[in-house]
Structure formats: structure tokens, C-alpha cells
Amino acid sequence: MKISNTLSEAAGGLGLFSLLWAGAVFVQLSPMSADGRVVNYAGIVRGGTLRLVKLELADEAASKSARALRSTNLEQGRPASRGSSLPAKGGVLAGDR
């Protein structure tokens, strides 16, 4: 058998193997993308929870600051400040829309 025939058969075998392997990869992509969606949804829920906690903590700090500012304004004879720049509990900030 000639070396050129052997090399041609080896190249054909490798080509067939690579096509089969590529097909197997494409078959596995669908379940992998479903797993990716689950991880993405979990991250969205986690981010939402962290945002709610951040807003809740910011609201408590803002309430303390607002009370201190109002009392300082009244002591110095200035009109009291009106409200806070933060939304009510559960509200949405203008930049978050």
C-alpha cells in the first residue's frame, strides 16, 4: 500500500471524526443553554434582593439624616426641609427605570 493512500485514508477518517464530534457538540448545546438560563434567573433574583436590602438600609439612614437636618434647620431659624429625595418604601428611583 502506498503512503499517499494511507495518508488519504487517515485524513478522511479524521475529517469524519471531526464532523461527528461537531454534531455531538451541537446536540449538547441545548441542555447547556437551559442551565445557563437557570443561572441567569438566579442572578436576577439575587440582584433584586440585594437592591431591596440596599434601598431599605438607605431609607433608614436617610430618615435619620432627614430628622437631624430638620431639627438643625428649626434650631437655626430656617424653614424645615420638605421630604426626602428617596422614594417611599417600595418606590422606584428615577434612574432605575
- pLDDT digit string (tens) for 17-71? 999 999 999 888 878 888 888 888 888 888 888 888 887 787 777 777 667 766 7
The whole-number pLDDT of residue 13 equals 95
pTM of the model: 0.38
Give the type of residue at 42: A
What's the domain range around 30? 3-78
C-beta of residue 73 within 8 angstroms of C-beta of residue 80:
yes
Please indicate, yes or no, if residue 90 is contained in any of the structural domains: no
Domain count, the chain: 1
* Residue 61, CA distances (Å) to 50, 54, 89, 90 in order: 16, 11, 13, 16
d(CA 80, CA 70): 5
Residue 36, in any domain of the structure: yes
Does some domain include residue 83?
no
Residue 84: inside a domain: no
